[in-house]
Chains A and B, each alone.
Chain A
Amino acid sequence: MKLSELKKHQEARVVRVDASGELKQRLASFGLLRGANIKIIDCSLGKSTIEVMVDNTLLALRKEEAEKIEVEIIENQAYHGKQKRVRQRERRRLVQEIKK
């Protein structure tokens, strides 16, 4: 579904950004790219501008831009501590590999 269709405060994850190079790059520099967590905080009258939270960043977008962002709703958030342990294990493995 599109970001513009998301309800207020619904947690979602970015699946795809269907924008041209420049806009895509601009969004990416704010951290809005595939895999980012996103939710809508506020809208102006007629949803012409939307305030979204991307990870820990508050961003303002126009409706036109929000329509280019494909998202999926997150049902169950994985437990943070578990993610962290997985990440650290992964990292140790990669460091070993590079040293080889």
Chain B
Amino acid sequence: MSCESCKVEQKEEYGVGAIKIALAGQPNVGKSMLINAMSGGNRVKVGNFSGVTVDKMEVCFEHHCHLFDLIDLPGTYSIDGFTKEEKVAKEFLLNEEYDLILNVVDSTNLQRNLLLTTELLELNTKVVVALNMIDEAKADGITIDREQLEKILGVKVVMVSAKTGEGIDELLDTMHEVADSPERSHNRLIYSDPMEEEIIKVRKFLDEKGFSYRDWSNREVAIGLLFEQEKLYKELHDNPIMIELYPMIRDSLEHIYTHHETKNIKEIRANEHAAIARGIALEVVDQKSAPKSLTLTQKIDSILLNKYLGIPIFLFFMWALFQLTFEFGNIPMEYIDAAIGTFSDFVGSHISSDDIRSLVVDGIIGGVGAVLLFLPNIIILYIGIALLETTGYMSRVAFLLDGFFHKFGLHGKSFIPLVTGFGCTVPAYMAARTLKSEKDRLITLFILGFMSCGARLPIYVLFTGAFFSEAVSGNILFLIYISGALLGLVMAKILRVFVFKGEDEPFVMEMPKYRLPSFKLIWHTVYSNAASYLKKAGTFILLASVLIWFVSNYPKNEAIAQEYSKKIELAKTKEEREKLAAMQQAKELESSYLGQIGKLSESFFKPLGFDWRLSVALESGLAAKEVVVSTLGVLYSIGEVDETSKSLKEILAKKLNIPIALSFIVFVMIYLPCFAASSVFTKEAGGFKYFVYLFFFTTMTAWVMSFLTYRATLIFFGS
């Protein structure tokens, strides 16, 4: 694997190749944050929930004229497990080339973190241990005897804090030193008595035979053999020594089995590691009383996880989030709207050619402006989601909702991808990898689109703003999101009963300690999301707007133009002339390419109350949901006559009614996610056929639900 961010000239200049470091650690140990601290930049998303880093990723940077190439592996409690992430991590550690493993450890919970460290040490490669969050440990009254820990583990240990920057330089220097040293320190872990007895026996035999394997010590080979390391057996398979070794190992294993009362070697290994970790913690960790942060977490939990209050509190938070999204988001929105209007008038008055003015004002400014308007809402929503992620509340919600989710055939953990889905569906599809059972994962993938992503928010804000008073808009918004989620649950149940039948996955999950959200982290998440939203508006949506403008203006129909110019000449009053001009534009639009496309699909959408403009907007939304709003912006600004109502919101309020608006919202809520999300879905679900299923599944559901909404509200509100 090459590191793109490293410049080749740099490598030549310093004459040193990059040190390749595999970063391994349990979830929530601040791995991603440590990468940011080390690289000085902000390239990884950082979160306080297992599975933020779903794929391994690479970061490259320079320190003291040496290049460091970090490969961030997904956080795993063990590398022996069954989840996709654990497999990704193990696969990499066993088969790829790298200089050393940097094992990031949470100093406030050393014992459990050592379970992974012991596994890593048995890989017999260079390891450096970073005791991260050392500042938190100190605040908790925990002291760690680092020298003793180094002695026991046999590897370098560095105390660091990604938050304060303490020890980062030392860590980088240590890694450099370890990577450059020709010698690797050997595994010095001490196992239980019966285990040691057998290790010594096998090792002595190997010594006597003068055996050697790679740079492993014979003790390490003995441990590998007794723990049945597959790779070792594969490579030693043809070695004659195995003939003598086999009976010996079988004997030794018998002894170990009797002692551990099981024949499952993985279990034995886990027990050995647990005993080692417990022993080490006892020896090197000094802790006067229960850690403060842990007691605090328990206190907070007793409120937030309260039997009766827990769920209402959670619903309140969600409600507050959507209220804020709407209320606060609306304040800057008015200014942006006014600014865009002024800008568009200004530009329009300086362009003499009718065609170009229409392109710039109606096409570009109309389309991109409509999308820009919603930036404040998007930012607030992302702040909310980032807060949920970084404080540790997200896993509490999984805990609270598991009982409820379980009834719908979902796993409490599905909550994480589902909430991520409110931001963007693409990372949400990837976050579903934390689900171990394939069926749970597929069900979650299928219903994820029902969680309305941030890009759909502008559509909702536009329509609710147009048809409902400001006082209820926030509530309507909340209702839209909740009903999408509820629909998702019902669909999950249907899928579970009819399509993905089978055993439930057990629910075992860590509840990370509550952490105060770091401003830097939140800012980074929100900034990068807002930047990508703007980038999309400036590129993709700009192009789409121009395209939509073009297909809605061409081909020019001369017959209509002539017919109306005559009529207009004959008209007596000014009002009549304006009316005729509007009719002309509407006629022209209908005969354009876009009008033709819209007409084709109109019969499909007609029962839902959509005219061809809304149909076209929905179809363009398959590319990206933001395009729906920009398309509406272009389409409705062309046919617009009344100069007093400039904003799209007012035009919509005039041309459509509540049943149509609701039906449209429901359709948008349910139908196929954007192109980018769909391709990620296809990849994650494992094949194109799943995409076909998803297409029919969502389109049919969307149609039926919109139809019901439309008909029901027609009766209620009247047409």
Q: Do A and B come from one complex?
A: yes
Asked if residues A33 and B190 are in contact (CB atoms below 8 Å), the reply is no
Q: How far is the CA of A56 from the CA of B28 in the complex (A)?
A: 14
Q: How far is the CA of A93 from the CA of B495 in the complex (A)?
A: 60
Q: How far is the CA of A25 from the CA of B400 in the complex (A)?
A: 25
| Cβ of A98 to closest chain B Cβ, rounded Å | 7
Asked if residues B506 and A65 are in contact (CB atoms below 8 Å), the reply is yes
| Cβ of B228 to closest chain A Cβ, rounded Å | 14
B282 within 8 A of A: yes
B14 within 8 A of A: no
Contact with A along B259-300 (1 / 0, CB 8 A): 000001011001100110111001100000001001001100
Asked if residues B283 and A30 are in contact (CB atoms below 8 Å), the reply is no
| Cβ of A22 to closest chain B Cβ, rounded Å | 6
Q: Which residue of A lies closest to B398 (CB)?
A: A60
A77 within 8 A of B: no
With A55-B111, A56-B291 known as contacts, the answer to whether A26 contacts B81 (CB < 8 A) is: yes
Contacts of B278 in A (CB 8 A): 35, 55
Contacts of B80 in A (CB 8 A): 25, 29
Contacts of A84 in B (CB 8 A): 282-283
Asked if residues B511 and A65 are in contact (CB atoms below 8 Å), the reply is no
| Cβ of B108 to closest chain A Cβ, rounded Å | 8
Contacts of B400 in A (CB 8 A): 44, 49
Asked if residues B200 and A27 are in contact (CB atoms below 8 Å), the reply is no
Contacts of B513 in A (CB 8 A): 58
Contacts of B277 in A (CB 8 A): 31
Contacts of B506 in A (CB 8 A): 23, 26, 62, 64-65
Asked if residues B297 and A58 are in contact (CB atoms below 8 Å), the reply is yes
B395 within 8 A of A: yes
Contacts of B511 in A (CB 8 A): 51, 58-60
What is the interface of chain B mostly: helix, strand, loop, or mixed?
helix
| Cβ of A44 to closest chain B Cβ, rounded Å | 6
Contact with B along A72-95 (1 / 0, CB 8 A): 000000001001100110010011
With A23-B508, A56-B109, A95-B190 known as contacts, the answer to whether A33 contacts B310 (CB < 8 A) is: no
Contacts of A87 in B (CB 8 A): 279, 282-283
| Cβ of A76 to closest chain B Cβ, rounded Å | 17
Of B301-309, B591-599, B620-628, B643-651, the segment with at least 4 beta carbons within 8 Å of chain A is B301-309
Q: How far is the CA of A44 from the CA of B309 in the complex (A)?
A: 10
Q: How far is the CA of A33 from the CA of B533 in the complex (A)?
A: 47
Residues of A within 8 A of B (CB): 21-31, 33-36, 41-46, 48-49, 51, 53-62, 64-65, 80, 83-84, 87-88, 91, 94-95, 97-98
